[in-house]
Chain A
Amino acid sequence: PKTHRVMTLADHISHIITQDFARNQ
């Protein structure tokens, strides 16, 4: 069975931004 991570659009946006800045440090 598949499991899902459910998050708000706001949290998803935050997550992508944090990842992007961490990657570029």
Chain B
Amino acid sequence: SCPVAPASRSSQEVWESFSQCFTPAVKEVVEFAKSIPGFQMLSQHDQVMLLKSGTFQVLMVRFCSLFEPKERTVTFLNGQTYSLASLRALGMGSLLDAMFDFSEKLGSLGLEQDEMALFMAVVLVSADRSGIVEVGAVEQLQENLIKALRSLITSRRPDDGTLFPKLLLRLPDLRTLNNQHSEKLLAFRID
């Protein structure tokens, strides 16, 4: 909720706190997945595999709204806004740069909240297929969600034929972000 710790906290404690913040966010993605029509019809094994592959990418989309690309600032959950420069000084470098760039591209599309939610569902079911057992079922769900997203976007913007293809082009960006950053190390204290 806040990147700046009281002076009494060691950098180790700050890093533990930062690592912990991912836990509730991941749980929210699991709950979100369960609300996607058709997701719980997949085998439990395949639900787990999609979540393991896709959660980081869904989180990147969710956290976009915290980034202000023009000002290069991030708003944390405590309501405070910090510049990229000050966050870099705390050691939060390359992942933040990549998230700013992605936020700028996604933000420029001007999606409504329901469109973002449906896009996140598409992101999740478009995750890496290795380990999926019933590939056909996952592909059918992906196709249904993409059709729904296309229909929602084009019905609202009948004169803009470029928005939907531009949105789909964000999927490979997310995969790249995932490949580059999901191996970052977190540290959890063992009590």
**A residues at B contact (CB < 8 Å):** 2-10, 12-14, 16-18, 20-21
CB interface residues, B 45-86, toward A, < 8 Å: 47-48, 51-52, 55-56
Is A12 in contact with B27, judged by CB distance below 8 angstroms?
Answer: no
Using a CB–CB cutoff of 8 Å, the interface residues on chain B facing chain A are: 12, 16, 19, 22-23, 26-27, 30, 44, 47-48, 51-52, 55-56, 181-190
What are 25 A-B interface contacts by the 8 Å CB criterion?
Answer: A2-B190, A4-B16, A4-B188, A4-B190, A7-B188, A8-B183, A8-B185, A8-B186, A9-B22, A9-B181, A9-B183, A9-B184, A10-B183, A12-B22, A12-B23, A12-B26, A13-B51, A13-B55, A13-B182, A16-B23, A16-B27, A17-B30, A17-B48, A18-B48, A21-B44
Q: Total contacts A to B, CB within 8 angstroms? A: 69
User: Quick one: closest B residue to A2, CB to CB?
Assistant: B189
A12 to B22, CA, bound (A): 8
Determine the chain B residues whose CB is within 8 A of the CB of A21 once the complex forms. 44, 47-48
Chain B positions within 8 Å of A2 at CB level: 12, 189-190
Contact A8 B184 (CB under 8 A): yes
The dominant DSSP class at the A interface is helix
Q: Do A4 and B26 contact each other (CB < 8 Å), given the known contacts A10-B182, A17-B55?
A: no
- A20 engages B189 (CB within 8 Å): no
- A7–B26 Cα distance when bound, in Å, is 15
14 more CB-based (< 8 A) A-B contacts, given A3-B189, A8-B183:
A4-B189, A6-B185, A7-B186, A8-B182, A8-B184, A9-B186, A13-B22, A13-B55, A16-B23, A16-B27, A17-B51, A17-B52, A17-B55, A21-B48
A14–B189 touching, CB < 8 Å: no
CA distance A9 to B95 in the complex (A): 12
Shortest beta-carbon distance from A14 to chain B in Å:
5
**Contact indicator B27/A20 (Cβ below 8 Å):** yes
Give CA–CA (A18, B44) in the complex, Å. 11
